[in-house]
Amino acid sequence: MIEAAPQSGSLITARLAGEAGREVMAIPGSPLDARASGCNQLIREGAVLVQTPEDVLELLQSFTGAPRSRFRVSEGAAAFDYADLAKLDWGEARADLSTDIASLLTNAPVAIDELIRQSGASAAEVHMALLELELAGDLDREGNGLVRLNR
């Protein structure tokens, strides 16, 4: 990780990677720069300190499958339960949800977060429905988390 503000999505990704036993690396920054505070905190919590490209190459070349970082989720932080994804019922309800999501789309781009809010479905369910619509050719991704109907 290169830059991360204290409440950034990058930190969420790093925490999920740590929970999943993945290697977490961070480049330190000035303690006076708010954009570096997240990386500095990750290093304090056990992420691997990276200062040069050679540090990354060394880590990758000597990787044995066991993470070197001691990074783990801080106490009090809620752990993501990957088993919840396996519990999702993707049968008939999936087709209904894809239809519901398609009904929320127009030719004007809309944020995926807004679709999640409007549909009341989980983020995983909405993303799966969007993927199905995209594979069917009914959805265009505009970037920056925006999608629109392709009809």
Is pLDDT of 82 > 70?
Answer: no
What residues form DSSP beta bridges with 140? Answer: 148
Is pLDDT of 7 > 80?
Answer: no
**pLDDT at residue 81, rounded to an integer:** 56
Q: Which CATH class is domain 86-149?
A: mainly alpha
Q: Mean pLDDT: which of 8-22, 93-107, 130-144 is highest?
A: 130-144
Is pLDDT of 147 > 60?
Answer: yes
Domain boundaries, the chain: 9-61, 86-149
Is pLDDT of 86 > 60?
Answer: no
Q: What is the mean pLDDT of residues 94-116?
A: 84
**Kind and range of the H or E run holding 108:** none
The CA–CA distances, whole Å, from 137 to 32, 91, 109, 119, 151 equal: 48, 21, 16, 21, 9
Q: Choose between 22 and 146: higher pLDDT.
A: 146
- Average pLDDT value for the chain: 78
What residues form DSSP beta bridges with 147? Answer: 110, 141
Q: What is the mean pLDDT of residues 65-87?
A: 55
